[in-house]
Amino acid sequence: MGKRQIKEVSFVTDIKSILASARQKAYSAVNSAMVEAYWLVGKRIVEEEQHGEKRAAYGEEILKTLSAALTEEFGKGFSARNLRDFRQLYLTFQDNEIWRTLCAKLTWSHVRLIMRVDNKDAQNYYLKETADNQWSVRTLDRNISTLYYQRLLSSQIKEPVIQEMQEKTAGFELDKMEFIKNPAVLEFLGLPNNKGFTESNLEQAIINEMQKFLLELGKGFAFVERQQLIRTETQDFYIDLVFYNYILKCFVIVELKTEKMTHQDIGQLDMYVRMYDDLKRNTGDNPTIGILLSTETDKTIAKYSVLRENKQLFASKYLSYLPTEEELAAEIERQKAVLKLLV
Domain CATH number, residue 240? 3.40.1350.10
Among 141, 158, 188, residue at a domain's last position: 188
Structural domain count, the chain: 2
For residues 10 and 141, membership in a common domain is answered with yes
Q: How confident is the model at residue 116 (pLDDT cuts 50, 70, 90)?
A: confident
| Comparison of pLDDT for 82 and 200, the residue scoring more | 82
For residues 221 and 133, membership in a common domain is answered with no
Strand partners, 222: 244
Closest C-alpha to 172, from 142, 146, 151, 195 = 142
For residues 206 and 100, membership in a common domain is answered with no
Lowest-confidence pick of 60-69, 175-184, 236-245 = 175-184
Q: Which tens digits make up the pLDDT trace of 8-45? A: 667 888 888 888 788 777 777 888 888 888 999 999 99
Whether 329 has a pLDDT exceeding 70, the answer reads yes
Mean pLDDT, rounded, for 307-327? 58
195 part of a folded domain: no
Rounded CA separation 250/244 (Å): 6
Q: Which domain holds residue 125?
A: 3-188
Q: How confident is the model at residue 5 (pLDDT cuts 50, 70, 90)?
A: low
Whether 69 has a pLDDT exceeding 80, the answer reads yes
Whether 307 has a pLDDT exceeding 50, the answer reads no
Long-range CB contacts for residues 114-121, cutoff 8 Å, separation at least 24: 114/140, 114/144, 115/88, 115/89, 116/233, 117/144, 119/149, 121/149
For residues 253 and 104, membership in a common domain is answered with no
Q: Which tens digits make up the pLDDT trace of 156-175? A: 888 888 888 888 777 766 55
**CB 255, CB 271: distance < 8 Å:** no
